[in-house]
Amino acid sequence: MKPHQTSPYQQNDMALDDRRAEERQEHRVPLKLTLETPELTGVSENISGVGVLFFTEGTLRVSVEIEGGRTRTGRLVRVQRMNLGSTGFAVEFDPE
C-alpha cells in the first residue's frame, strides 16, 4: 500500500475500537514481514478442492521491519483478504 492510500480496514475500525488494548494511529510506511515459524501442525475443520480450513494451537512467529530500520517481533493474529488484490495482516507485537 502506498503511503497516501486509504486503508481497507478504515471503514471497519469503529466496530473494533472497544476490543483494542491501545489506541491506533494512522502510520503508512513500507515494511517487510518475515516468518520466523517454519511450520505449523493442526487439525483440519474442512477441506475442498481449492483450500483447507484448519486450527492449530501453535503460534506463527514473525518479525516486522519498519522503514527506518526498526524491527519488532510478535505473532500473526489475523489474516484477512480484503479483495482480489489486497490482503491484511494483523501482528501483535511482543512487549518491549
Q: What is the pLDDT of residues 12-40, one digit of tens each?
A: 554 555 566 788 888 889 999 999 999 99
Comparing C-alpha atoms, which of 26, 30, 38 is closest to residue 64?
A: 30
- The confidence band for 4, taking pLDDT boundaries of 50, 70 and 90, is very low
Domain presence at residue 14 = yes
Secondary structure letter of residue 84 according to DSSP:
T
> How many domains does the chain fold into?
1
Positive or negative, the Cα torsion across 69, 12, 62, 38? negative
Comparing C-alpha atoms, which of 12, 64, 55 is closest to residue 35?
A: 64
Q: What is the pLDDT of residues 54-80, one digit of tens each?
A: 999 999 999 999 988 899 999 999 999
| Confidence check: pLDDT of 81 > 70 | yes
According to the model, what pLDDT value does residue 96 have? 87
According to the model, what pLDDT value does residue 24 have? 82
Domain presence at residue 1 = no
Domain presence at residue 4 = no
Distance in angstroms between the alpha carbons of the first and the last residue of the chain: 27
Comparing C-alpha atoms, which of 71, 41, 79 is closest to residue 57?
A: 41
Domain presence at residue 53 = yes
Domain presence at residue 82 = yes
Residue 16: in which H helix or E strand, if any?
helix 13-16
Name 95's bridge partners: none
According to the model, what pLDDT value does residue 19 have? 67
